[in-house]
Amino acid sequence: MPSIKLNIFQRGILQKCATVFVYMVSAATGAWAIDWLDKQYFIRLAKEAQNQNLIPPEVAHRFIILIEARDFTAIFLIMFVGLLCGFVIWLFMRWAANFNWSWPVTLPKAVEFRWAMEQLGITDPHERIAFVRKHKLHVFIALSPLVGKEQEPVRAKLYPFAYHVGLGNVDLFARHIGNQTLCLDADDYEGLLKEHGQRTDSAYSARIVDLEQSITNLKATNSLQNADIVKLTEENEKLLAKNDGLKNELKMLTPRAGKAEKRENDRIPFWLVAAPMVKELKKKAEPGTRYKRPQIQAAFLQELEGFPELKPAIQNLLNTSKKQEGSAPYELKGWGMEAIRLALGDLAEKDPGTSPKVKKT
């Protein structure tokens, strides 16, 4: 399909109309000229007959009137019939040209046509036929397919219309090329090779130079790509080693993360009591307020009274191995107290002996 859409004017409709117009004017002019010559010819015949007393003057005058009164539509009909007959005759001639009635001849040595054309650098089928017609080559049709590129001797018939534009049959060429029966005489081929082979060799040499340059460029590109591949391979090995290390760390961290997640889930009952307590302490705090551990403990116990259903779970959470025997079941020691103090932030009183952190400059 065309790569660009063209409208009717861009497709050359004006040129085509002009061509048809010129054709019609030429046909009409030709018909008028033929009609005028035809009339003049018959008028001259009538006058000569009158001068020779073959017909009376009245009859000759009437003949002239009839001839001049005739229009030239008959000439158009004659031209059309003539062209139609000529076309039909041409078709019959092309049909008859397909039959090769040449007498067979024995070629001492024959060269297969397609291979010969390839040696001359002609690979396109239409260019081969154009080459045959241009140089009026004698093309032969072998009686049996050739075995190999060259064969001797070979019985063949000359194809007399090989270089005839009107009667030469392209399909016949293609059929015999496919059957490997189309061939050239070896002597004719040697002459062609001497005449056109040098030009073909020059074209091949130029093509070889181009290919060698392309190969050189490809080798250079390949070298650069190989260097990139080596570099990328090294980087890939480093990434793989790093990936293995991360996988090992992930394997170690996964159980820890699982335990930490389970621990936080287990502490949800504790935070159901501690969170509202911390929020209330922050709400009641005044400037300078610092909550001590006993205050935090008391506030926690007070808040816990509102959640009697959570007491068993909280008791289990706070009952750790570090807690001394005899301690109260809900005493905040260890992680419980530190978690609430961390939530209070600056509102929790610092432990004695601790010094504030110094910001690094």
Could you read off the pLDDT of 164-190 as tens digits, one per residue?
766 667 778 888 888 889 899 888 888
Structure confidence by residue, pLDDT tens digits, 110-141: 999 999 888 888 888 888 888 888 888 888 98
- What whole-number percentage of the chain has pLDDT above 90? 2
What's the confidence (pLDDT) of residue 202?
55
Q: Does the structure show a pLDDT above 50 at 356?
A: no
Residue 353 has pLDDT above 70, yes or no: no
Predicted pLDDT of residue 359:
39
201 confidence band (pLDDT: 50, 70, 90): low
Structure token pair of residue 70: 């005739």
**Do strands 105-107 and 182-185 pair parallel, antiparallel, or not at all (unpaired)?**
unpaired
* Whether residue 320 has pLDDT greater than 80: no
For 48-57, the pLDDT digits (tens) are 777 887 778 7
Distance CA 181, CA 210 (A): 36
Specify the range with the lowest mean pLDDT, choosing from 77-91, 102-116, 315-329.
Answer: 315-329
Q: Do 98 and 169 touch, CB atoms closer than 8 A? A: yes
| Residue scoring higher pLDDT (333 or 188) | 188
Give the closest residue to 176 by CA, choosing from 121, 243, 128: 128
Q: Mean pLDDT, the chain, as a whole number?
A: 77
Mean pLDDT of the region 68-73:
66
The pLDDT of residue 2: 44
User: What is the 3-state secondary structure of 271-297?
Assistant: HHHHHHHHHHHHHHCCCCCCECHHHHH
A 10 A CB-CB count for 31 gives 18
> H or E element: which one contains 168?
none
Is the full-model pTM beyond 0.85? no
Q: Please determine, for residue 3, whether its predicted confidence score (pLDDT) is greater than 70.
A: no
- Dist CA 104 CA 76 (whole Å): 47
Average pLDDT value for residue range 287-309: 88
- pLDDT grade for 358, boundaries at 50, 70 and 90: very low
Would you call 165 helix, strand, or coil by DSSP?
A: coil
**Percentage of the chain exceeding pLDDT 70:** 78
245 burial class (0-12, 13-18, 19+ CB within 10 angstroms)? exposed
pLDDT in tens, 212-232: 778 888 887 887 788 888 888
The secondary structure of 303-342, three-state, reads HHCCCHHHHHHHHHHHCCCCCCCCCCCCCCCCHHHHHHHH
pLDDT for res 72: 61
| Helix, strand or coil, per DSSP, at residue 38 | helix
Q: Average pLDDT of 187-197?
A: 82
The structure tokens 């031209």 sit at 79
Q: Is the pLDDT of residue 14 over 80?
A: no
**What per-residue string of b and e applies to 283-307 under the rule 16 or more CB within 10 Å gives b?**
eeeeeeeebeeeebbebbeebbeee
Q: How confident is the model at residue 97 (pLDDT cuts 50, 70, 90)?
A: low
* Helix locations, the chain, DSSP H: 13-51, 57-69, 73-97, 113-119, 125-135, 170-178, 186-266, 268-284, 293-304, 311-318, 335-344
Higher-pLDDT residue of 255 and 42 is 42
pLDDT of residue 152: 85
Most confident of 167-181, 257-271, 317-331: 167-181
Q: Which residues of 63-82 are buried (b: 16+ CB within 10 A; e: fewer)?
A: bbeebeeeebeebbeeeeee
Integer distance in angstroms from the first to the last C-alpha of the chain? Answer: 74
Alpha-helical (H) ranges within 167-185 are 170-178
